[in-house]
Structure 1
């Protein structure tokens, strides 16, 4: 059942005992109800006992008081309600009356009036410990968490302060205050409001649309039928999988299976990691392909023989490019991944220097390869096999360097992505097999290299790796001022 109802039932069971609870259930059987809605902020049930009809009503304090007869104790209860709410308790008020006969029409307008005020109940819904940490992580990641609740403003204020949503300089807006603002006035204030209390479903939509007009990417959570319109209007609607209604789940873009806010933050972290790895994959593949194109095009223009055969290019694309590139998908999240602002939705995949990196590293890789060809020809070495090997080793050095845009390889270590290390090691062994095994020599038109030639290939391959590491160093120095 609903958490509030369960809390009330468990309190009665704990204070009266199971037998008395079951006795009351049998003595006052419920035969009808007026359901809760966000406009009235209350609900009523009808019970029959000894020929009398009993109407019981519970809901928000001000809503119940509006439906009651004049009562001298109202001020006292209202004061106590505000006191409890300021301590972070959710306050429910109770009222009712006895009817002589069953009403012909079951409606809020005809039944919920002239009630006798019974009392109030306070309950605490303590925030999960991980929610406090998740909200703090949201803020460091440039995400502004906002509380929208039907609770009393004082309750909302206390809870928002406890979990870290409400800070100095930020405002609370109630539904009544909200209704008095025009769309233009609200748009000017919306970025400074962190807590909304006693709001209606249509006001939730106004909040979403105002934030979207200001250029924000809006994620909305909800579980009730009344949340469906705002879930649908938001950029990303997140419904609760456990307590959520079918309507809210249908309206949402995503369903949260554990109803835990911290899971949303973990999803954001994972989304950023995946996007980063896509960028690394694109950066690596396009840089390597660019280097191959530059090598083949520029070498003949400089008077050198065509450096690579078609089978060499196919081999590099399938093995040297393929295996390490796939392993990049398993790269762990960068340490600062939740300390940087959100990426603008319209931002290109090649922004933040990715496009520049693809061009200059591709040219460097091609330059290293062409220089190796020239040097090998001058010294009478096996130049074509060396060109093939230098290009392969340069790409392996490049993939080790592009694992992170800011962290050096020695800081990362290899344990964080062992599949990548294995793929680089395996690719290197396969490349050596292509060079030294007679069967592959005939297939790939390669020749066994001397130790001097192989050492030269390793040395040239490391140039690209160190150049990309130097790029990270320069970026760090610029960032630090």
Structure 2
């Protein structure tokens, strides 16, 4: 039953085996069995236990579990406890994030009204909305929610708000007439009503044509459930890195274990050595640190009016290459304002007409009144006698006022409604008959304004003598006074935000339900539409093949009159071209595309709950410029995570090299497992988190182009830094180890542990930014505080006897302590001197 709007109501009644008297109870029961309940169906969700267990599928996690089990077998119970604590904590965080995101269809269910008035067997019944069936006759009035899709066959000044489905903020006038056009978009199907919308004016009846998942809102629910949740580049890169690292560690540990056996080391000692190597190599707290740094990013974004629902969105924003944005309320202020006014005759009288023809009931009325009161110098006094209200059919209104015992009717409305009623035109000395030249000039002005996407209201008046009442018949032979154009004005910051967008290498694209002219005007005003760009309507998009859209999409900067399917198609096409797409939206119709996009961004003020829950980020101020700030923050978060991982891996690499060194030269083990866990979980984790709290410079961050989606997070440049820094740390830790070995194996282990701890702690200042802190100073107070806390912890382990026993360390002499501090400080001195010389060059 497609294109029901083009079929007569008799045809529809016949097809559905119903009539204006409604279904019989028997047929209604049969239809309920045939079509099912009028409700949305959710896909079966994973259980919490399954999601929790899925968190352990990562190769690094599996390797840690194996290490923990081996630690238990060889008696290292403390190591096993700490390892299991870390991986269980990561699993809990992952499970929480998963279930936080899956709520969209639940909100769609709340959009149906709980009870509906239907006609069955020629009688009215109130029934639950879920029991409405195809063929039912539903009665609606102002204030009712529409519970199912249907075709109208009776209408009395009926108006429906379909903004949640179509994006159109204005109410849609409905009719029962058959429409002859073919392939009409949803917004133009004026004889149909749709589930999830609301009746805002008048009353009517419709026959139900679709229920449940077959309705338009049901199609949206299906699109939401089918939209693929994409991993961000960081997730993909970390997954890839984890696999490579895990495989590398496994191979090295197997080789070391086999060589240990070959060298006649006992199986237990060989296992212990391999586990030590694995623990040294695996950054146990990596996942936790990434989550914490992302969470810090969300807190900063929240202070800038961006609420992050999914942690992945924080980093994902940093590599966005396309932003598909709505117009109303995002780029504009979502309020009407007078942009221009043209009057004939006396200006004061024109302003008087504006004031006395307004009833202050709509945003348009308020905008006109505000403009008139701002420009009017004299107080206008009059008695309101009668009003002929505005309706969508009349497209005009008139108000009768008494002033100085004389009455005047002030009229205003759309030009097509008012101009045919004009006979005279106002002049500075009175009025005269309007001529064709006058009408040509007026229509010329109107055309210029409408072509700019402006809404035009015309004004006229008529002297009524002593008449104290008016009727529709009186609205003739009017005297034309002037006109005003109205626009939803741009937000002051929109132009700069769009400029920053282009500067940051991001293409902004406007997706709107508005008409072409309005969309084009705003796109040009903001700078989104540039020379040689294209604008495409929903109807034109339907005619484009997928290949043609793929070919032209780079040149299309504005889309108008779109449906939910159009928006998903646009997002998917960009993604096929390798773009990372952010999508803004506020209506139900935006939800599927919000979920399909790499980063879905919902409006906090005007957005529906469905849109908010399908998105990864919510703007509390509905402002496009907030997205650009979020992009800068996302790039900063990515940079901070990269710096934190550089810090972690360079230290871990040093640990691996030290273990391999003693193995190659058949020396005693430089660590016990608890030493490595202390380093990895405390003196590594806390500084890494502090590095993740570094503030970036928005201007500098936005000057960089977005990184490519397939760019490796751990790139060659970063690997080289990690290798060099790890090698420098290794050299001085080994020197400390060899110094301690002259005394005893226990002292050597203690000096190695202390030197590596302190060297990595000092190294945190090398990783916080590219330039030397000797040049920039200590701006990261969190890192300074963390440094002091970790210094206290390390020295407590070295000096407090009870802690010495727990962490298996020996008491060091004064000279040994000086050696430890000297060697641990040397890598940072070398790296800082290099950074200073590089900055000077």
The normalised TM-score by structure 1 is: 0.72
Change (3 A) 1:218 1:474: farther
- Secondary structure of residue in 2 paired with 1:368: helix
- How big is each residue's C-alpha offset from its partner over 1:204-254, in whole Å with a ceiling of 9 and x where there is no partner? 454333322322122222334554554455433323222334554455443
Relative to structure 1, is the Cα distance of residues 253 and 33 closer, same or farther in structure 2, using a 3 angstrom cutoff?
Answer: farther
Residue equivalent to 2:814: 450
Is it true that 1:200 corresponds to 2:565 in the alignment?
Answer: no
The within-5 A match list for 1:417-456 is 417-441=780-804, 444-451=808-815, 453-456=816-819
In structure 1, the residue matched to 2:737 is 373
1:3 aligns with 2:335: yes
Residues 78, 251 of structure 1: CA spacing in aligned structure 2 closer, same or farther, 3 A cutoff?
farther
Give CA deviations for 1:381-428 in whole Å, capped at 9, x if unaligned. 954433222111210122111112x232234422x3212111112322
Note the residue ranges of structure 2 that are not aligned, 5 or more in a row. Answer: 1-168, 170-333, 337-361, 401-411, 422-434, 460-470, 473-479
The partner residue of 1:316 within 668, 671, 679 is 679
Candidates 156, 163, 173, aligned match of 2:535: 173
Please name the residue that 1:239 is paired with.
602
Deviation at 1:469, TM superposition (A): 4.8
Unaligned runs of 5+ in 1: 35-43, 51-55, 101-116
Q: Residue 465 of structure 1 aligns with which residue?
A: 828
Highest CA radius of gyration, 1 or 2?
Answer: 2
Partner of 1:40: none
Q: How does 1:383-394 map to 2 (within 5 A)?
A: 383-394=748-759
Q: What does the per-residue CA deviation read over 1:274-305, in whole Å, with 9 as the maximum and x for residues that have no partner?
A: 33333333332333233223323421422433
SS at match of 2:707: coil
Task: Give the match for residue 765 of structure 2.
Answer: 400
SS of the residue 1:145 aligns to: strand
Distance 1:459 1:287, change over 3 A: same
Change (3 A) 1:195 1:21: farther
- Contact kept in structure 1, 2:510 and 2:523, CA below 8 Å: yes
The 5 A counterparts of 1:49-198 are 76-77=441-442, 79-84=444-449, 90-92=454-456, 121-149=484-512, 156=519, 159-167=522-530, 169-175=531-537, 181-196=544-559, 198=560
Give the deviation of 1:20 after TM superposition. Answer: 9.7
Q: Once superposed, what is the RMSD of the aligned Cα atoms?
A: 4.7
Please give the per-residue CA displacement for 1:19-54, whole angstroms capped at 9, x wherever unaligned. Answer: 999958x73357x768xxxxxxxxx7799999xxxx
Query: Please, which of 657, 663, 668 is the counterpart of residue 294 of structure 1?
Result: 657
Cα contact 2:740–2:748 (8 A) shared by 1: yes
Matching residue of 1:28: 388
**Distance (Å, rounded) in 2 between the aligned partners of 1:322 and 1:132:** 42
Partners of 2:502 and 2:800 lie apart in 1 by: 57
Secondary structure of 1:291's counterpart equals helix
Corresponding residue number in structure 2 for 1:264: 627
Task: Work out the number of aligned pairs and report it.
Answer: 435
Alpha-carbon distance in structure 2 between the residues aligned to 1:161 and 1:353: 41
Q: In structure 1, what is the Cα distance between the partners aligned to 2:551 and 2:383?
A: 55
- Cα distance between partner residues in 1 of 2:370 and 2:382: 6
What SS class does the counterpart of residue 735 from structure 2 fall into? helix
User: How many angstroms does 1:126 deviate by?
Assistant: 3.5
Change in CA separation of 1:46 and 1:350 when aligned onto 2, cut-off 3 Å: same
Note closer, same or farther for the CA distance 1:313–1:217 as it changes in structure 2 (3 Å cut).
closer
Higher helix fraction (1 or 2): 1
Q: Secondary structure at the match of 1:194?
A: strand
Partners of 1:82 and 1:178 lie apart in 2 by: 26
Deviations 1:66-111 (A, max 9, x none): xx99x9788645532453367x66234679xxx99xxxxxxxxxxx
Tell me which residue corresponds to 1:344.
708
- Residues of 2 paired with 1:450 and 1:344: CA distance? 53
TM-score normalised by length of structure 2: 0.44
Q: How big is the shift at 1:358?
A: 3.8
Change (3 A) 1:261 1:376: same
Give matches, 1:322-341, under 5 Å: 322-333=685-696, 336-341=700-705
Partners of 1:248 and 1:315 in 2: CA distance: 45
Q: 1:12 to 1:380 in 2, by over 3 A?
A: closer
Structure number with the bigger relative contact order (C-alpha 8 A, sep ≥ 6) is: 2
CA distance in 2, matches of 1:184, 1:74: 47
Cα deviation per residue 1:148-204 (whole Å; 9 max; x = unaligned)?
44667666555444433344x4414253766665443333222123344x4433654
Does the 8 Å CA contact 1:280/1:328 hold for their aligned counterparts? yes
- CA distance 1:89–1:287, change in 2 (3 Å): same
